Amino acid sequence: MEIRAVVGHITEQETPAIALGLFEGTEIPLAGTAGELDAALNGELGSVIADGDFKGKINETLVLYTHDWLPAKRLILVGLGKPEEVTLNVIREASATTAQKARSLGLSTLHTVVFGEDVEGISRELSTSAAAEAVAEGALLGLYRFTELKTQDENHRADPEQLVIVISGENDLAAMQEALNRGQIVAESTMLARDLVNRPANVATPSHLAKVAQEIATETGTVCKILEKPALKELGMHLFLSVNQGGNEPARMIVLEHNAGVPDLPTVVLVGKGITFDTGGISLKPSRGMEAMKGDMGGAAAVLGALRAVALLNLPLHVVGLAPVTDNMPDAQATKPGDVVKSLNGLTVEIINTDAEGRLILADALTYAGEFQPDAVFDVATLTGGRIVALGDHAAAVMGDQGLIDRLVAAGEATKERVWPMPLFKEYGKQIESDVADLKNVGGRAASSITAAYFLSKFVPDGIKWAHIDIAGLGIRDKSDPYVPKGATGFGVRLFVEALRRWDA
Ligand code: BES
Ligand code: ZN
Ligand code: ZN
């Protein structure tokens, strides 16, 4: 969908539909844009509200026909809830809801003003440009569907081709278009991550992820390097390789770098777990629900999506994306429970359970992150079932450096990709002590998200600030929200992009 700004007047637009956001409890006579549309419609809008047919509740919609009172054929009303409770998230949702309504009506074009724009007080809380970004982001994310593997899809109507934001002043046109473009960049990068997670493991193989990373590099001017198996061996990433041993697809380390070689920029490394399919290995998972393990590369997908956005937004940071990618398969060659393997940083690990593989590939990647002398390292991973038990649908777990956690909590609040801290007390370390090696890779059922993070902390080079984000269960959902349709969510892309955009603030 094309999203563009035009200068003009909303009442004069010849279009299949105008979308209008309305707050709950809006006073009559209507003011601003709503007042002008109401006047053109001979008071119809005021009556619909006065009679209670449209209350303005969040994501409520009502379609009115204009019967030639306006050059626009329809008015799509969308509720914004209470004015004092409006946030960018409300605007993203309203925009998604409207775009979906336009699609279900089969409309090619939708005109609107920025939702919530001309209501007194909104501009103090939310800038017009942030609201415009949210409109673009919400519409695109709300229309997202994963259709590339369907040969028959008759039940669905085509997406609207364009969303036009009508603004009054010529002076604001360039700034408005830039805000819309930023929203589009963030949304499309999120959708890239969604596509990667939705793709089954026979499509989204390690080589496929590497190819997508290279395409991102070509599109954005980032530098992409793929470390192949011989290089991984040479470096000594034996924990990573031990996970790859049972499969036929060679492991790869994806390195994607924004502002590579530019001096004097803060360096942030993002590390994403890229298990393209997690069978559990010799510690085989039960078959029920195993298909969801195609999404065990959700961390890697989030990192690739974030790197794309960061590069296209041209953030003034040196950002490195690292994604160790492999499947986790059982086989005669596979790692066996009890095997001891040496990591890149020299620690030996007793692999008690081959299904605790994410921490093995991340351990070597975190050590490797030290090569970039980073100011901060974040890793994101579908790491533990314990995360789902502890926090459910509404927050990822974060552990590590308090300053980095604070940044993530703030960015999570703004994007609605929320995170919540868990402790990393050193006493948890006892649970991963091994009788035969330096460490073992599991610490029992108790506090499993924490012991997994504690394990990772042992591989972060000394003196480097690090935070770990556990997104298990958040990468694929079976429920829909307006701009997060069921299936892959792309969780992590918007969180990272927001945290990095605020880096200096
Ligand atoms: N990929 C899984 C974690 C997971 C579970 C992600 C559910 C998404 C949804 C991970 O590799 C795993 O198997 N973790 C085990 C570790 C256990 C064997 C110590 C877990 O947390 O149950
Ligand atoms: Zn596993
Ligand atoms: Zn896994």
Task: Name the phi and psi angles at 310, rounded to 5.
Answer: -60, -40
In a shared domain, residues 34 and 160:
yes
**Residue 418, domain member (yes or no):** no
In a shared domain, residues 171 and 205:
no
Region 141-165 average pLDDT: 93
Region 32-46 average pLDDT: 96
Catalytic residue among 73, 82, 285, 465: 285
Give the model confidence (pLDDT) of 53-64 as tens digits.
Answer: 999 999 999 999
For ligand 1, atom 3, name the residue with the nearest CA: 384
Round the average pLDDT of the chain to a whole number and report it: 96
In a shared domain, residues 351 and 479:
yes
- pLDDT value at residue 237: 99
- pLDDT value at residue 120: 54
pLDDT classification of 199: cutoffs 50, 70, 90: very high
**Residue 445, domain member (yes or no):** yes
Please indicate whether residue 386, judged by its CB atom, sits closer than 6 Å to ligand 1: yes
In a shared domain, residues 377 and 479:
yes
- pLDDT value at residue 505: 55
> What range defines the domain where residue 85 resides?
2-186
> Exposed (0-12), middle (13-18) or buried (19+): which is 121, by Cβ within 10 Å?
exposed
CA distance 368 to 255: 11
pLDDT classification of 122: cutoffs 50, 70, 90: low
Please indicate whether residue 189, judged by its CB atom, sits closer than 6 Å to ligand 1: no
pLDDT above 70 covers a percentage of the chain that reads 98
**Residue 392, domain member (yes or no):** no
- pLDDT value at residue 119: 54
pLDDT above 90 covers a percentage of the chain that reads 94
**Residue 483, domain member (yes or no):** yes
Structure tokens at 53: 């047919």
Tell me if residue 26 falls in helix, strand or coil: coil
Residues in contact with 159: Cβ distance below 8 Å, sequence separation at least 6, in sequence order: 1, 103, 143
Give the model confidence (pLDDT) of 354-408 as tens digits.
Answer: 999 999 999 999 999 999 999 999 999 999 999 999 999 999 999 999 999 999 9
CA distance 104 to 101: 5
Q: Which ligand is nearest to the CA of 273?
A: 3
285 is catalytic: yes
In a shared domain, residues 331 and 474:
yes
Please indicate whether residue 384, judged by its CB atom, sits closer than 6 Å to ligand 1: yes
CA distance 346 to 357: 18
Contacts 24+ apart (CB under 8 A), 412-418: 412/495, 414/88, 414/498, 415/494, 415/495, 415/498, 416/89, 416/92, 417/491, 417/492, 417/494, 417/495, 418/394
Please indicate whether residue 40, judged by its CB atom, sits closer than 6 Å to ligand 1: no
For ligand 1, atom 14, name the residue with the nearest CA: 384
pLDDT classification of 118: cutoffs 50, 70, 90: low
* Bridge pairing between strands 466-470 and 396-400: antiparallel
CA distance 136 to 444: 45
CA distance 504 to 210: 31
**Residue 422, domain member (yes or no):** no
> Exposed (0-12), middle (13-18) or buried (19+): which is 163, by Cβ within 10 Å?
buried
In a shared domain, residues 117 and 225:
no
Cα 354 to middle of ligand 3, angstroms: 10
**Residue 415, domain member (yes or no):** no
pLDDT classification of 26: cutoffs 50, 70, 90: very high
Has residue 335 got a pLDDT over 90? yes
Pocket test for ligand 1, best of 383, 445, 469 (most atoms within 8 A of CB): 383
In a shared domain, residues 258 and 318:
yes
In a shared domain, residues 89 and 203:
no
Residue at 160: amino acid letter = P
Total of domains in the chain: 2
Give the model confidence (pLDDT) of 412-467 as tens digits.
Answer: 999 999 999 999 999 999 999 999 999 999 999 999 999 999 999 999 999 999 99
Domain ends where: 160, 186, 212? 186
In a shared domain, residues 177 and 306:
no
Around ion ligand 2, residues with a beta carbon closer than 5 Å are 278, 355, 357
Q: Which ligand is nearest to the CA of 280?
A: 2
What's 66's DSSP letter? -
Encode burial over 73-107: b for 16+ CB neighbours within 10 A, e otherwise.
Answer: ebbbbbbbbebeebbbbbbbbbbbbbbbbbbeeeb
- 173-198 vs 493-501: helix crossing angle, rounded to 10: 140
73 is catalytic: no
Q: Could you tell me the CATH number of the domain that includes residue 105?
A: 3.40.220.10
Has residue 69 got a pLDDT over 80? yes
